[in-house]
Amino acid sequence: MSRISEALEDVANAVIEQKDYLTELDAKIGDGDHGLNMARGMQAALDAVDKLPHDDEPAPVLQAIGQALLRNVGGAAGPLYGTGFVKAAAACDDSTRLDVASFAKLLSAAITGIEQRGHAQKGDKTMLDTLIPLRDSFQKAEAEGQTLSEALHHAEKAAMAGVDYTRTIAARKGRASLLGDQSIGTEDPGAASACIMYRALYRFLREY
């Protein structure tokens, strides 16, 4: 198993382990199925990557994850997360490696895809409220010449702050938007799942 596949396994297992928590969040402001959908999608992603002839290159792995999520995750999360991973795969090139610049580049590509697919922006109480601060943190780290370790640490704080931010705002997209101000006080399930995935990746890279 390659390092990339090992990282995916940790990320997928983190989502699967938190499926009840994510479902509980979604039951408060959505359809109540985000955790179950994401767990199913992550298992499908693991199965898809396991079938790749080579799992040591980021582009094929990200593409396989994206396609698995598009095919297996219902609701809004599947198309959005799936598109994000597919767009990140397309952004990979010969310069893509485990460094700050690549994190910033791939997150930017994913965010652009998600924004276009979901017609959402920061402040709408979606996964973008985690992903955009993550991307911004890596871009700041790149500009300041931070080490990868420093950048990963600061980005974790940015992701967690993004999730906390979603508690303070009303949803403007999806089923949760029907609740209006009643959605204030509950963190967005998509923002939470994005944070869970990033924190699992961070732990893997920190301990690898």
Split the chain (208 residues) into runs of 10 and give each run's mean pLDDT: 90 97 95 94 96 91 97 90 98 95 98 96 97 98 98 98 97 89 95 98 91
In angstroms, the first-to-last Cα distance of the chain is 14
Distance of CA 62 to the CA centre of its chain: 12
Q: Which two tokens mark 127? A: 């996964």
- The structural architecture, per CATH, of the domain 3-207 is Alpha Horseshoe (1.25)
Q: What is the C-alpha separation between 159 and 142, in angstroms, rounded? A: 17
Instruction: Identify the DSSP state of 182.
Output: G
| pLDDT reported for residue 1 | 65
Q: What is the C-alpha separation between 205 and 183, in angstroms, rounded? A: 34
Nearest-5° angle of CA 67, CA 69, CA 75? 130
* This prediction's pTM: 0.96
Nearest-5° angle of CA 14, CA 154, CA 159? 45
| pLDDT reported for residue 101 | 98
**Residue boundaries of the structural domains of the chain:** 3-207
